[in-house]
């Protein structure tokens, strides 16, 4: 893959990973309608944070295809409900074929809900969005898209200091991309309009 904008069979320009989307409808829909669009709300951001953590070391397509399984397993990513999970729930999740059965990621998901449940409503949203950088020029190729930024490193550090687990600078940047804090759709990508924080 060249890393440059690709033109799909539908004639629309997409980010290079949109090339894969040509044969994988769920990937294309995610790219076209969700990735990079602003996400607000504590539970919604908690869900994305968890999914990005589960994706670590895996393909995003693997996570997308199990997303409904994750939602069922983790009570729709309700912070309050997941915070109340017990050790028995963690064991149940380790046996659930609808999710990625990784003990460290499962326990981090529960622990993170317990941290967030102690916060005031809207506090997680406000904290994450406080790290949105100023808008930047559209990247021309995939090589122009960073894996880590000073803002993502600072966000990860802040979350860890507050007790969150399994969130490093790379995962934090993936969260920022997915939730529209940054707009990393390439110049000319049809999905770029409407994406991004501002």
Please indicate whether residue 35 is annotated as part of the active site.
no
Please indicate whether residue 30 is annotated as part of the active site.
yes
Among the listed residues 49, 96, 95, 88, the one whose alpha carbon sits nearest the alpha carbon of residue 68: 96
How many C-beta neighbours within 10 Å does residue 53 have? 24
Q: Which of 4, 22, 60, 119 is catalytic?
A: 60
- For residue 72, give the H/E element and its range: helix 67-73
For 100, the token pair is 């990625």
For 125, the token pair is 């949203």
Please indicate whether residue 34 is annotated as part of the active site.
no
Q: Which of 27, 47, 52, 173 is catalytic?
A: 52
166: DSSP letter: S
Q: How far is CA 81 from the centre of its chain?
A: 20
4: DSSP letter: B
6: DSSP letter: E
Q: Which of 17, 27, 30, 173 is catalytic?
A: 30
**Which residues have a catalytic role annotated?**
30, 52, 60
């Amino acid at each position: 893959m060249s890393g440059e904008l690709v033109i799909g069979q539908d004639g629309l320009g997409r980010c290079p990973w949109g090339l894969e989307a040509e044969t994988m409808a769920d990937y294309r829909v995610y790219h076209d309608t969700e990735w990079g669009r602003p996400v607000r709300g504590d539970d919604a951001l908690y869900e994305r944070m968890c999914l990005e953590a589960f994706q670590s070391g895996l393909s995003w397509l693997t996570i997308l295809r199990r997303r409904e399984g994750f939602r069922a397993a983790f009570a729709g990513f309700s912070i309050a409900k997941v915070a109340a999970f017990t050790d028995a729930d963690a064991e149940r999740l380790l046996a659930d074929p609808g999710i990625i059965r990784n003990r460290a990621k499962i326990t981090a998901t529960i622990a993170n809900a317990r941290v967030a449940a102690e916060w005031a409503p809207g506090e997680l949203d406000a904290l994450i969005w406080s790290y949105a950088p100023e808008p930047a020029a559209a990247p021309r190729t995939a090589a122009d898209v960073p894996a880590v930024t000073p803002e993502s490193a600072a966000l990860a550090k802040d979350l860890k200091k507050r007790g969150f687990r399994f969130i490093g600078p790379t995962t934090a940047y993936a969260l920022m991309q997915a939730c529209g804090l940054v707009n990393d759709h390439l110049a000319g990508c049809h999905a770029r309009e409407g994406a991004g924080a501002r």
